[in-house]
C-alpha cells in the first residue's frame, strides 16, 4: 500500500482535466426520458434520474459547463382519460402529478437545471416548429393509420405482432381501427441512421444494444404515424388543427425546446452529449429521433445511454401491473436519500438490469456506508479533537499518489459511463485510507510531528473522498466537509485547501439501525389501502376439506404461482360453481394451517342479505394482475392479519367494489361484485 507520509506530498498536484469524448464543445448537456405522469413516480423513474444526476454532477465537479434536463411527457389519450375519471381537466391532472414528480426528484437531490413539461407553451412552440421543418422537407404526408389497437399501449399492431388475437404486451383484446393520420417518412432515413450508428460506435451505450438496433435496421422501415384525431389533449398540427401530434414528435422534441426558451442556450448545448433512457424506449431514441433530426436538419445527439431495468428481488420487472413495486418514498422514509442513491449507483452495473433487494441495501448500509465511510469520518474527527484540540494543519493538498490514480480512474469511468466503477474506485480509496489509519495507529503515537503527519494525511484524503463522494452522496459529502472543516468545491480546489481545518464532531453519518427491517416500513401518511395486495386468480382445484365441514380446500392459480387457499364457502356454493372461476385474492395475508391444510390468502366475497355469497369478480384481467385504487400507491405489507384487512373498508357501490368512494380496478377494468350497495367485502 502507498503510504501517506509527508515526504510524498508534491505541490504540483495534477488534477484530471480529461473532459472526455462527449464534450467536444467543452460543455456537457445531459437529459433523461421525460416521464409519463399518468401515475405517481416509481423506482425506475427515480433510478434513471439518479444515474443521470451522477454524470451531471461528475462533470460539474471537474469544471465542465453542464446542463441537466428532466421533465414530463404530459400529453396523450391515457392522461386525458385518467383526468376524465378524476373529473378534472387534463391540465389540472398533470399539474397535480408534476408536483409529485418534482417533489421526489428534489428529495433525491437530482440537480436538474431545467424541468420541461410538454404542456408548457415553450414546448408547444418548438414542437410545432420542428414539425413544420420536417414537413417543409417533404417528409410528412396524410394517410390512414390502421391495425389492431390496444388502448393500454395506445398503439395499433399488425396481425403478425399479435399473440393469438391479443395485444403482445398486455394480453388485452384489441380493436380494429382505421383512421386518418399524418405520417413521417421514417423509411427514407433508414440508411442514414444505420450508417450513423455504424460510424459512431459511441452513439449507443452499451454496445449490445447497438447490435440489436443495427440488426433491426437491416429490415425495411415502415413510415410512422405521427398524429391522432381521436383525442385532443396534445399539440394541434399547425396546418391541420383537427389532429394533434402523437407522442413521437411531441415527446422527443423536448430535448431541444428546453434549450430554446426561456433563455436560448441552444448554440452552447446542442447536440446533447447524453440522452439517458431505459431499454424500452431505445428504438424511439436511436432510430426515430435521429431520423427526425436528419429531416429537420439538426445535429444528432452524441450518445444515447441505455440503462437497464429495475427488477424486483426475484428478477421480475417492477411494475404496478405486476404489483411488485417498491415505492421510493417508502425507502426514503426508512433510509436517508443518500443511501438510496448509493444503492442505485453502486449495485446496478451500468447498462444492465438490477434486482432491488432490501436485504442487500440493508447489508451495504452497514458494511459499506456505516463501517467503511461513516466510521472513518468519526475516527478522524475524534482523533483531531482529542489529540490536537480540534484544529489541524495540513499541506492543503492531497498527500499521496493513490489519490491521483483514484481521481483519474473515477473520471475515466465517468467518461466511459461506468458509474458503478467510479463508485468502486472511490470505495477502494476509502478502504486504503482506513487501512492506513489502522497501520499507523495514531492513537498509540505520542504528541508530535509523526502524529500530526498521519492525521494531516488522512484529513487530506478525506477531502478527496468527500469531493468524489459528492456526485454519489451529496448530503454526506457536505456533512463530511462540515465536520472536518472544508467545503466541497470544484475538483481543482483539492490543490489548495485551507491548510488549517477546524474539526467538529458531527452526528454519525449512518447511524446503527436499531432493528434492521427487511420490509419497508410504512410512511406516516400512507393510505390504509396500500397495505393490501389484491391479485387476480383462478380456482384450479376444489376439494372438500377432510377435517372441516365448512371449508373448501382450493388451489388458486395467480399466474406467477399457485397457492393453496381454504375458504368457508361450502354452505353457500358448490364445488363446480367455483372450479375455473376467476377471483380476487388477498395475497399478503399471513399464511396459516387450517386444520392441517395450508391457507395462503383469502378469496374476496360479500355476504348477501338472503344468506348467499357473491364472489368478487375481476372481469377479464390477467392472472396475477393487481387491483389498485387511483391515486393510492405504496408497497404492500408482508403477512398482514385478517384484522388489518378488516380495517380497510371495501364496499359495493353500483355493483363495483370501492374503497373510499373510488373503484378498485386492474389495468383491464373495474372489479365488480353482484351485491347490493353498501355490502362489505370480506
Ligand atoms: N414518456 C416516455 C419517454 C419519452 S422520452 C422522450 C416514457 N415514460 S415512462 O414514464 O414510461 O418512463 C420514463 C423512463 O423510466 C424511461 O426511460 C423508462 O425506461 C424508465 N423506466 C420505467 N420503468 C423502469 C424500470 N422498472 N426500471 C428502470 N427504468 C424504467 O417512456
Quick one: CA dihedral 157, 161, 167, 168, positive or negative?
A: negative
Nearest Cα residue to atom 8 of ligand 1: 35
One of 78, 153, 279, 562 is an active-site residue; which one?
Answer: 153
Same structural domain for residues 93 and 206? yes
The number of the ligand 1 atom at minimal distance from the alpha carbon of 32 is: 17
Average pLDDT over residues 201-217: 94
One of 75, 124, 167, 566 is an active-site residue; which one?
Answer: 167
- Asked if residue 532 lies in contact with residue 648, where contact means CB atoms within 8 angstroms, the answer is yes
- What is the DSSP annotation of 245-298? E-HHHHHHTHHHHHHHSSS--HHHHPSPSEEEEEGGGHHIIIIIHHHHHHHHT-
Q: Could you give the percent of the chain with pLDDT greater than 70?
A: 94
Q: Which position has the higher pLDDT, 249 or 676?
A: 249
Nearest Cα residue to atom 23 of ligand 1: 44
pLDDT of 399 strictly over 60: yes
Average pLDDT over residues 46-74: 96
- In this structure, the number of other CB atoms found within 10 A of the CB of residue 242 comes to 10
Nearest Cα residue to atom 10 of ligand 1: 35
Q: Is residue 365 part of a domain?
A: yes
pLDDT band at residue 25 using 50, 70 and 90 as cut-offs: low
Residues 6+ apart with CB under 8 A from 378: 505, 508, 509
Catalytic, 167? Answer yes
Question: Ligand 1 mean position to 493 CA, how many Å?
Answer: 37
pTM: 0.77
Q: Is residue 1 part of a domain?
A: no
Same structural domain for residues 175 and 296? yes
pLDDT of 626 strictly over 50: yes
Same structural domain for residues 485 and 375? yes
With CA atoms as reference, report the closest residue to 663 among 636, 628, 618. 628
Q: Is residue 513 part of a domain?
A: no
CATH number at residue 409: 1.10.730.10
For the stretch 324-372, pLDDT in tens is 778 899 999 999 999 999 999 999 999 999 999 998 999 999 999 999 9
Same structural domain for residues 94 and 122? yes
Look up residue 224 and give its three cell numbers.
410512422
pLDDT score of 610: 78
Catalytic, 45? Answer yes
pLDDT score of 153: 80
Catalytic, 317? Answer yes
Same structural domain for residues 256 and 207? yes
Pocket of ligand 1 (CB under 6 A): 33-36, 44-45, 47-48, 73, 251-252, 277-278, 280-281, 309-310, 317-318
The number of the ligand 1 atom at minimal distance from the alpha carbon of 36 is: 10
Residues 6+ apart with CB under 8 A from 263: none
- Asked if residue 252 lies in contact with residue 292, where contact means CB atoms within 8 angstroms, the answer is yes
**Preceding peptide of 526 cis, ω within 30°:** no
For the stretch 516-539, pLDDT in tens is 554 543 333 568 898 898 999 999
pLDDT score of 168: 86
With CA atoms as reference, report the closest residue to 185 among 227, 223, 212. 223
One of 78, 166, 260, 320 is an active-site residue; which one?
Answer: 320
Nearest Cα residue to atom 5 of ligand 1: 33
Same structural domain for residues 117 and 73? yes
Nearest Cα residue to atom 9 of ligand 1: 35
Q: Is residue 318 part of a domain?
A: no
Same structural domain for residues 285 and 345? no
Catalytic, 170? Answer yes
CATH number at residue 557: 2.40.50.140
Compute the distance between CA of residue 118 and CA of residue 98 in angstroms, rounded to an integer.
Answer: 11
Question: Ligand 1 mean position to 45 CA, how many Å?
Answer: 6
Question: Ligand 1 mean position to 75 CA, how many Å?
Answer: 15
pLDDT of 323 strictly over 50: yes
pLDDT of 223 strictly over 60: yes
Catalytic, 150? Answer yes
One of 45, 285, 397, 419 is an active-site residue; which one?
Answer: 45
Residue 173, beta-bridge partner list: 166
Question: Ligand 1 mean position to 320 CA, how many Å?
Answer: 13
One of 317, 572, 608, 662 is an active-site residue; which one?
Answer: 317
Look up residue 414 and give its three cell numbers.
465517468
User: Which residue range is the domain that position 635 belongs to?
Assistant: 518-670
The two most distant CA atoms of the chain are separated, in Å, by: 92
Q: Could you give the percent of the chain with pLDDT greater than 90?
A: 69
Phi, psi (degrees; rounded to nearest 5) at 494: -60, -30
pLDDT band at residue 270 using 50, 70 and 90 as cut-offs: very high
**Total domains, the chain:** 3
Same structural domain for residues 412 and 556? no
- What is the DSSP annotation of 156-201? EE-GGGSBTTB-TTT--B-EEEEEEEEEE--GGGHHHHHHHHHH-T
Lowest mean pLDDT among 113-122, 212-221, 318-327: 318-327
Angle between helices 337-347 and 474-484 (to 10 degrees): 120
Look up residue 547 and give its three cell numbers.
377435517
Average pLDDT over residues 488-505: 89
pLDDT band at residue 109 using 50, 70 and 90 as cut-offs: very high
Same structural domain for residues 153 and 229? yes
Compute the distance between CA of residue 531 and CA of residue 485 in angstroms, rounded to an integer.
Answer: 45
For the stretch 637-670, pLDDT in tens is 777 888 889 889 999 999 999 999 999 998 888 9
Same structural domain for residues 130 and 163? yes
pLDDT band at residue 24 using 50, 70 and 90 as cut-offs: low
Compute the distance between CA of residue 428 and CA of residue 441 in angstroms, rounded to an integer.
Answer: 20
pLDDT of 185 strictly over 60: yes
Nearest Cα residue to atom 25 of ligand 1: 44
pLDDT score of 248: 94
Q: Is residue 413 part of a domain?
A: yes
With CA atoms as reference, report the closest residue to 633 among 393, 423, 325. 325
Same structural domain for residues 137 and 204? yes
Compute the distance between CA of residue 517 and CA of residue 525 in angstroms, rounded to an integer.
Answer: 19
Domain boundary among 307, 341, 364: 307
Q: Is residue 10 part of a domain?
A: no
Question: Ligand 1 mean position to 536 CA, how many Å?
Answer: 26
pLDDT of 3 strictly over 50: no
Q: Is residue 321 part of a domain?
A: no
CATH number at residue 56: 3.40.50.620
Q: Is residue 574 part of a domain?
A: yes
Compute the distance between CA of residue 57 and CA of residue 474 in angstroms, rounded to an integer.
Answer: 9
3-class DSSP state of 495: helix
The CB-side HSE value for 630 (13 A sphere, CA atoms) comes to 19
Average pLDDT over residues 607-620: 87
Domain boundary among 502, 533, 568: 502
Catalytic, 467? Answer no
Same structural domain for residues 362 and 463? yes
List b or e across 422-444, with b for residues whose CB sees 16 or more CB atoms inside 10 angstroms: bbebbbebbebbbebbeebebee
pLDDT score of 204: 97
Averaged pLDDT score across all residues of the chain: 90
3-class DSSP state of 539: strand
The number of the ligand 1 atom at minimal distance from the alpha carbon of 252 is: 6
Question: Ligand 1 mean position to 277 CA, how many Å?
Answer: 7
Query: What SS3 string covers 640-667?
Result: ECHHHHHCCCEEEECCEEEECCEEEECC
Amino acid at each position: 500500500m502507498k503510504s501517506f507520509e509527508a515526504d510524498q506530498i508534491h505541490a504540483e498536484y495534477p488534477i484530471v482535466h480529461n473532459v472526455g469524448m462527449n464534450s467536444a464543445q467543452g460543455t456537457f448537456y445531459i437529459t433523461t426520458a421525460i416521464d409519463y405522469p399518468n401515475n405517481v413516480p416509481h423506482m425506475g423513474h427515480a433510478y434513471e434520474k439518479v444515474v443521470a444526476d451522477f454524470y451531471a454532477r461528475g462533470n460539474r465537479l471537474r469544471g465542465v459547463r453542464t446542463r441537466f434536463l428532466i421533465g414530463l411527457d404530459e400529453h396523450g389519450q391515457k392522461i386525458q382519460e385518467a383526468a376524465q375519471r378524476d373529473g378534472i381537466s387534463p391540465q389540472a391532472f398533470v399539474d397535480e402529478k408534476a408536483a409529485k414528480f418534482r417533489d421526489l426528484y428534489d428529495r433525491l437531490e437530482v440537480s436538474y437545471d431545467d424541468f420541461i413539461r410538454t404542456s408548457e407553451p415553450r414546448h408547444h412552440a418548438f414542437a410545432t416548429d420542428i414539425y413544420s421543418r420536417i414537413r417543409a422537407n417533404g417528409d410528412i404526408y396524410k394517410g390512414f393509420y390502421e391495425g389492431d389497437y390496444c388502448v393500454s399501449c395506445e398503439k395499433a399492431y399488425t396481425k403478425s405482432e399479435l399473440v393469438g388475437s391479443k395485444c403482445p404486451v398486455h394480453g388485452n383484446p384489441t380493436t380494429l381501427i382505421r383512421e386518418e393520420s399524418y405520417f413521417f417518412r421514417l423509411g427514407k432515413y433508414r440508411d442514414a441512421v444505420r450508417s450513423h450508428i455504424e460510424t459512431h460506435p459511441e452513439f449507443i451505450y452499451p454496445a449490445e444494444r447497438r447490435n440489436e438496433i443495427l440488426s433491426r435496421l437491416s429490415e425495411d422501415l415502415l413510415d410512422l404515424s405521427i398524429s391522432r384525431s381521436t383525442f385532443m389533449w396534445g399539440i394541434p398540427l399547425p396546418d391541420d388543427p383537427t389532429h394533434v401530434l402523437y407522442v413521437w414528435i411531441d415527446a422527443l422534441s423536448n430535448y431541444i425546446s428546453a434549450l430554446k426558451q426561456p433563455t436560448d442556450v441552444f448554440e452552447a448545448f446542442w447536440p446533447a452529449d447524453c440522452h439517458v433512457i431505459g431499454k424500452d424506449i431505445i428504438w424511439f431514441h436511436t432510430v426515430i429521433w435521429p431520423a427526425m433530426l436528419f429531416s429537420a436538419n439538426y445535429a444528432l445527439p452524441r450518445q444515447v445511454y441505455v440503462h437497464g431495468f429495475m427488477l424486483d428481488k426475484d428478477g421480475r420487472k417492477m411494475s404496478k401491473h405486476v404489483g411488485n413495486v417498491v415505492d421510493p418514498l417508502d425507502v426514503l422514509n426508512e433510509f436517508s436519500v443518500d443511501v438510496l442513491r448509493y444503492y442505485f449507483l453502486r449495485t446496478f452495473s451500468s447498462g444492465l438490469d438490477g434486482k432491488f433487494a432490501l436485504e442487500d441495501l440493508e447489508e451495504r448500509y452497514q458494511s459499506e456506508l456505516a463501517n467503511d465511510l461513516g466510521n472513518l469520518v468519526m475516527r478522524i474527527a475524534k482523533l483531531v479533537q482529542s489529540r490536537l484540540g480540534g484544529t489541524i494543519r495540513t499541506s492543503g493538498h492531497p498527500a499521496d499518489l493513490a489519490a491521483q490514480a483514484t481521481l483519474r480512474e473515477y473520471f475515466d469511468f465517468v467518461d466511459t459511463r461506468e458509474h458503478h466503477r467510479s463508485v468502486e474506485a472511490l470505495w477502494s480509496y476509502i478502504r486504503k485510507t482506513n487501512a492506513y489509519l489502522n497501520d499507523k495507529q495514531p492513537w498509540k503515537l505520542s504528541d508530535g510531528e509523526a502524529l500530526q503527519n498521519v492525521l494531516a494525511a488522512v484529513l487530506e484524503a478525506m477531502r478527496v473522498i468527500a469531493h468524489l463522494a459528492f456526485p454519489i452522496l451529496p448530503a454526506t459529502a457536505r456533512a463530511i466537509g462540515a465536520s472536518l472543516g472544508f467545503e466541497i468545491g470544484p475538483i481543482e480546489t483539492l490543490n489548495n485547501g485551507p491548510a488549517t481545518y477546524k474539526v467538529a464532531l458531527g452526528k454519525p453519518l449512518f447511524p446503527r439501525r436499531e432493528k434492521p427491517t427487511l420490509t419497508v416500513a410504512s410512511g406516516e401518511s400512507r393510505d390504509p389501502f396500500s397495505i393490501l395486495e389484491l391479485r387476480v386468480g383462478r380456482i384450479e382445484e376444489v376439494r372438500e376439506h377432510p377435517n372441516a365441514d365448512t371449508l373448501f380446500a382450493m388451489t388458486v392459480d395467480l399466474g406467477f404461482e399457485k397457492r393453496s387457499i381454504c375458504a368457508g364457502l361450502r354452505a353457500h356454493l358448490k364445488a363446480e360453481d367455483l372450479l375455473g372461476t376467476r377471483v380476487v385474492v388477498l395475497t399478503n395475508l399471513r399464511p396459516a394451517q387450517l386444520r392441517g391444510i395450508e391457507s395462503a390468502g383469502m378469496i374476496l366475497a360479500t355476504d348477501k342479505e338472503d344468506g348467499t355469497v357473491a364472489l368478487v369478480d375481476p372481469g377479464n384481467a390477467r392472472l396475477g394482475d393487481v387491483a389498485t385504487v387511483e391515486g393510492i400507491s405504496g408497497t404492500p405489507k408482508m403477512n398482514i392479519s385478517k384484522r388489518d384487512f378488516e380495517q380497510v373498508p371495501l364496499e359495493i357501490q353500483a355493483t363495483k367494489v370501492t374503497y373510499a368512494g373510488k373503484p378498485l380496478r386492474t389495468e383491464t377494468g373495474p372489479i365488480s361484485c353482484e351485491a347490493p350497495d353498501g355490502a362489505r367485502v370480506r
